[in-house]
Structure 1
Amino acid sequence: MLNSGKRYNDLNVWLEARRLSKDIYSVTAEFPKEEQFGLINQMRRSAISIPSNIAEGCGRNYPKDSIQFFYIARGSIYELETQLYLRFDLEYIEDVKLNQLLILTETTRKLLSGFIKYYQQIK
Protein backbone atom coordinates (compact mmCIF):
# COMPACT_ATOMS: atom_id res chain seq x y z
CA MET A 1 0.00 0.00 0.00
CA LEU A 2 1.19 3.51 -0.71
CA ASN A 3 2.06 5.89 2.13
CA SER A 4 -0.84 8.16 1.26
CA GLY A 5 -3.29 5.36 2.11
CA LYS A 6 -4.19 4.94 -1.54
CA ARG A 7 -4.49 1.46 -2.90
CA TYR A 8 -3.06 0.56 -6.28
CA ASN A 9 -6.54 0.19 -7.77
CA ASP A 10 -7.27 3.83 -6.93
CA LEU A 11 -4.28 5.06 -8.96
CA ASN A 12 -4.97 6.79 -12.28
CA VAL A 13 -1.99 5.06 -13.83
CA TRP A 14 -3.36 1.62 -12.93
CA LEU A 15 -6.85 2.53 -14.15
CA GLU A 16 -5.45 3.78 -17.46
CA ALA A 17 -3.33 0.63 -17.84
CA ARG A 18 -6.45 -1.45 -17.26
CA ARG A 19 -8.27 0.49 -19.96
CA LEU A 20 -5.38 -0.08 -22.35
CA SER A 21 -5.46 -3.82 -21.62
CA LYS A 22 -9.19 -3.97 -22.31
CA ASP A 23 -8.77 -2.12 -25.61
CA ILE A 24 -5.96 -4.47 -26.66
CA TYR A 25 -8.13 -7.49 -25.92
CA SER A 26 -10.94 -6.02 -28.00
CA VAL A 27 -8.77 -5.12 -30.95
CA THR A 28 -6.88 -8.43 -31.01
CA ALA A 29 -10.20 -10.28 -31.21
CA GLU A 30 -10.32 -9.01 -34.82
CA PHE A 31 -6.99 -10.61 -35.77
CA PRO A 32 -6.85 -13.57 -38.14
CA LYS A 33 -7.14 -16.90 -36.32
CA GLU A 34 -3.64 -17.95 -37.42
CA GLU A 35 -2.27 -15.24 -35.11
CA GLN A 36 -3.93 -16.78 -32.04
CA PHE A 37 -0.64 -18.11 -30.67
CA GLY A 38 1.53 -15.42 -32.18
CA LEU A 39 0.85 -11.71 -32.16
CA ILE A 40 -2.51 -11.96 -30.35
CA ASN A 41 -1.01 -13.84 -27.43
CA GLN A 42 2.06 -11.61 -27.26
CA MET A 43 0.08 -8.36 -27.36
CA ARG A 44 -2.31 -9.54 -24.69
CA ARG A 45 0.53 -10.67 -22.44
CA SER A 46 2.27 -7.31 -22.85
CA ALA A 47 -0.94 -5.41 -22.12
CA ILE A 48 -1.77 -7.48 -19.03
CA SER A 49 1.77 -7.05 -17.74
CA ILE A 50 1.34 -3.30 -17.38
CA PRO A 51 -1.38 -3.06 -14.69
CA SER A 52 -0.20 -6.33 -13.13
CA ASN A 53 3.33 -5.02 -12.53
CA ILE A 54 2.01 -1.71 -11.23
CA ALA A 55 -0.10 -3.62 -8.71
CA GLU A 56 2.74 -5.93 -7.76
CA GLY A 57 5.11 -3.00 -7.32
CA CYS A 58 2.65 -1.30 -4.98
CA GLY A 59 2.51 -4.46 -2.91
CA ARG A 60 6.25 -4.73 -2.32
CA ASN A 61 7.81 -3.87 1.05
CA TYR A 62 10.93 -2.22 -0.27
CA PRO A 63 10.95 0.86 -2.51
CA LYS A 64 13.73 -0.54 -4.68
CA ASP A 65 11.63 -3.63 -5.43
CA SER A 66 8.56 -1.49 -6.14
CA ILE A 67 10.45 0.72 -8.59
CA GLN A 68 11.78 -2.36 -10.41
CA PHE A 69 8.21 -3.59 -11.06
CA PHE A 70 7.18 -0.14 -12.27
CA TYR A 71 10.07 -0.21 -14.73
CA ILE A 72 8.99 -3.65 -15.93
CA ALA A 73 5.51 -2.21 -16.54
CA ARG A 74 7.05 0.64 -18.52
CA GLY A 75 9.08 -1.84 -20.58
CA SER A 76 5.86 -3.69 -21.38
CA ILE A 77 4.36 -0.45 -22.67
CA TYR A 78 7.24 -0.07 -25.12
CA GLU A 79 6.89 -3.72 -26.10
CA LEU A 80 3.17 -3.26 -26.74
CA GLU A 81 3.78 -0.12 -28.76
CA THR A 82 6.19 -2.03 -31.02
CA GLN A 83 3.63 -4.79 -31.45
CA LEU A 84 1.03 -2.23 -32.49
CA TYR A 85 3.36 -0.99 -35.22
CA LEU A 86 3.95 -4.58 -36.35
CA ARG A 87 0.23 -5.10 -36.47
CA PHE A 88 -0.06 -2.05 -38.70
CA ASP A 89 2.77 -3.33 -40.93
CA LEU A 90 0.88 -6.61 -41.35
CA GLU A 91 -2.24 -4.62 -42.27
CA TYR A 92 -4.27 -5.94 -39.34
CA ILE A 93 -5.16 -2.42 -38.22
CA GLU A 94 -6.09 0.85 -39.88
CA ASP A 95 -4.38 4.19 -39.33
CA VAL A 96 -7.16 5.62 -37.20
CA LYS A 97 -7.31 2.70 -34.76
CA LEU A 98 -3.51 2.53 -34.58
CA ASN A 99 -3.35 6.21 -33.66
CA GLN A 100 -6.06 5.82 -31.00
CA LEU A 101 -4.16 2.97 -29.38
CA LEU A 102 -0.83 4.79 -29.63
CA ILE A 103 -2.34 7.82 -27.89
CA LEU A 104 -3.64 5.58 -25.09
CA THR A 105 -0.25 3.88 -24.89
CA GLU A 106 1.54 7.23 -24.67
CA THR A 107 -0.87 8.49 -22.02
CA THR A 108 -0.27 5.38 -19.94
CA ARG A 109 3.50 5.69 -20.37
CA LYS A 110 3.48 9.34 -19.28
CA LEU A 111 1.35 8.57 -16.24
CA LEU A 112 3.65 5.71 -15.30
CA SER A 113 6.79 7.79 -15.75
CA GLY A 114 5.28 10.50 -13.55
CA PHE A 115 4.26 7.92 -10.98
CA ILE A 116 7.77 6.48 -10.91
CA LYS A 117 9.23 9.95 -10.27
CA TYR A 118 6.65 10.63 -7.57
CA TYR A 119 7.24 7.24 -5.93
CA GLN A 120 11.00 7.78 -5.90
CA GLN A 121 10.50 11.11 -4.08
CA ILE A 122 8.13 9.82 -1.38
CA LYS A 123 10.25 6.78 -0.59
Structure 2
Amino acid sequence: MEDLLVWQKARILCKEIHLLIKAGAFSADQKLLDQINRSSSSIMDNLAEGFGRQGLGEFLNYIRIALGSAVEVKSQLYRSIDRNYISSERFTHLLGLTEEIIKMSYGLKKKIIENSAERKSN
Protein backbone atom coordinates (compact mmCIF):
# COMPACT_ATOMS: atom_id res chain seq x y z
CA MET A 1 0.00 0.00 0.00
CA GLU A 2 2.90 2.36 0.70
CA ASP A 3 3.66 2.30 -3.05
CA LEU A 4 0.24 3.76 -3.90
CA LEU A 5 0.81 7.44 -4.66
CA VAL A 6 -2.78 8.29 -3.80
CA TRP A 7 -2.35 6.66 -0.38
CA GLN A 8 0.82 8.71 0.16
CA LYS A 9 -1.09 11.91 -0.66
CA ALA A 10 -3.94 10.87 1.64
CA ARG A 11 -1.41 10.31 4.42
CA ILE A 12 -0.06 13.85 3.92
CA LEU A 13 -3.59 15.29 4.02
CA CYS A 14 -4.43 13.33 7.16
CA LYS A 15 -1.26 14.56 8.87
CA GLU A 16 -1.87 18.19 7.86
CA ILE A 17 -5.46 18.06 9.13
CA HIS A 18 -4.19 16.57 12.39
CA LEU A 19 -1.65 19.39 12.77
CA LEU A 20 -4.41 21.96 12.23
CA ILE A 21 -6.53 20.29 14.89
CA LYS A 22 -3.58 20.11 17.27
CA ALA A 23 -2.92 23.83 16.75
CA GLY A 24 -6.48 24.59 17.88
CA ALA A 25 -7.94 25.62 14.52
CA PHE A 26 -11.29 23.96 15.28
CA SER A 27 -11.40 24.39 19.05
CA ALA A 28 -14.68 26.33 18.83
CA ASP A 29 -16.41 23.59 16.85
CA GLN A 30 -15.91 20.09 18.23
CA LYS A 31 -18.39 18.57 15.76
CA LEU A 32 -16.55 19.89 12.70
CA LEU A 33 -13.23 18.92 14.29
CA ASP A 34 -14.42 15.33 14.69
CA GLN A 35 -15.91 15.21 11.19
CA ILE A 36 -12.84 16.48 9.34
CA ASN A 37 -10.55 14.28 11.42
CA ARG A 38 -12.63 11.17 10.68
CA SER A 39 -13.12 11.98 7.00
CA SER A 40 -9.44 12.65 6.32
CA SER A 41 -8.47 9.46 8.17
CA SER A 42 -11.10 7.50 6.26
CA ILE A 43 -9.53 8.33 2.89
CA MET A 44 -6.20 6.85 3.89
CA ASP A 45 -7.68 3.90 5.78
CA ASN A 46 -10.10 2.84 3.04
CA LEU A 47 -7.41 2.98 0.36
CA ALA A 48 -5.25 0.78 2.59
CA GLU A 49 -8.04 -1.67 3.38
CA GLY A 50 -9.06 -1.94 -0.26
CA PHE A 51 -5.47 -2.55 -1.30
CA GLY A 52 -5.28 -5.38 1.22
CA ARG A 53 -8.40 -7.13 -0.05
CA GLN A 54 -8.24 -10.11 -2.38
CA GLY A 55 -10.56 -9.07 -5.17
CA LEU A 56 -10.48 -6.10 -7.51
CA GLY A 57 -14.20 -5.55 -6.93
CA GLU A 58 -13.55 -5.09 -3.23
CA PHE A 59 -10.67 -2.72 -3.95
CA LEU A 60 -12.94 -0.66 -6.21
CA ASN A 61 -15.57 -0.49 -3.48
CA TYR A 62 -13.06 0.84 -0.96
CA ILE A 63 -11.81 3.40 -3.50
CA ARG A 64 -15.43 4.58 -3.84
CA ILE A 65 -15.68 4.93 -0.07
CA ALA A 66 -12.38 6.85 0.02
CA LEU A 67 -13.71 9.15 -2.72
CA GLY A 68 -16.82 9.85 -0.68
CA SER A 69 -14.66 10.72 2.31
CA ALA A 70 -12.51 13.03 0.18
CA VAL A 71 -15.59 14.90 -1.00
CA GLU A 72 -16.65 15.19 2.65
CA VAL A 73 -13.27 16.74 3.47
CA LYS A 74 -13.81 19.28 0.68
CA SER A 75 -17.17 20.26 2.16
CA GLN A 76 -15.68 20.47 5.65
CA LEU A 77 -12.86 22.67 4.36
CA TYR A 78 -15.44 25.06 2.91
CA ARG A 79 -17.21 25.17 6.27
CA SER A 80 -13.85 25.80 7.95
CA ILE A 81 -12.98 28.79 5.76
CA ASP A 82 -16.54 30.15 5.99
CA ARG A 83 -16.30 30.09 9.79
CA ASN A 84 -12.81 31.62 9.79
CA TYR A 85 -11.21 28.58 11.42
CA ILE A 86 -8.44 28.42 8.79
CA SER A 87 -6.62 30.96 6.64
CA SER A 88 -7.34 31.31 2.95
CA GLU A 89 -3.79 30.10 2.21
CA ARG A 90 -4.28 26.94 4.28
CA PHE A 91 -7.70 26.41 2.72
CA THR A 92 -6.31 26.71 -0.82
CA HIS A 93 -3.48 24.30 -0.04
CA LEU A 94 -5.67 21.67 1.63
CA LEU A 95 -8.40 21.98 -0.99
CA GLY A 96 -5.81 21.49 -3.75
CA LEU A 97 -4.39 18.43 -2.00
CA THR A 98 -7.88 16.99 -1.53
CA GLU A 99 -8.77 17.58 -5.19
CA GLU A 100 -5.51 15.91 -6.22
CA ILE A 101 -6.45 12.87 -4.12
CA ILE A 102 -9.89 12.78 -5.76
CA LYS A 103 -8.39 12.89 -9.26
CA MET A 104 -5.81 10.24 -8.40
CA SER A 105 -8.51 8.00 -6.90
CA TYR A 106 -10.63 8.28 -10.04
CA GLY A 107 -7.53 7.50 -12.10
CA LEU A 108 -6.74 4.43 -10.00
CA LYS A 109 -10.34 3.27 -10.25
CA LYS A 110 -10.30 3.69 -14.04
CA LYS A 111 -6.99 1.81 -14.34
CA ILE A 112 -8.29 -1.11 -12.28
CA ILE A 113 -11.46 -1.32 -14.39
CA GLU A 114 -9.47 -1.17 -17.64
CA ASN A 115 -6.99 -3.82 -16.47
CA SER A 116 -9.84 -6.03 -15.34
CA ALA A 117 -11.59 -5.72 -18.71
CA GLU A 118 -8.31 -6.42 -20.50
CA ARG A 119 -7.78 -9.61 -18.47
CA LYS A 120 -11.29 -10.80 -19.26
CA SER A 121 -10.78 -10.29 -23.00
CA ASN A 122 -7.53 -12.31 -23.03
Q: How many residues align?
A: 115
Aligned to 1:39: 32
2:46 corresponds to 1:50: no
Structure 1 segments, 4+ long, off by >3 Å, are none
Amino acid paired to 1:75: G
Residue 112 of structure 1 and its aligned partner are, at CA, apart by 1.0
Aligned to 1:85: 78
Q: TM-score, normalised by structure 2?
A: 0.88
Amino acid paired to 1:95: S
2:18 corresponds to 1:25: yes
2:9 corresponds to 1:16: yes
Amino acid paired to 2:59: S
Which stretches in structure 2 are left out of the alignment for 5+ residues?
117-122
Amino acid paired to 2:25: F
From 48, 52, 75, give the equivalent of 2:68: 75
Percent identity (aligned) = 36
RMSD of Structure 2 on Structure 1 (CA): 1.2
Q: TM-score, normalised by structure 1?
A: 0.87
Residue 78 of structure 1 and its aligned partner are, at CA, apart by 0.2
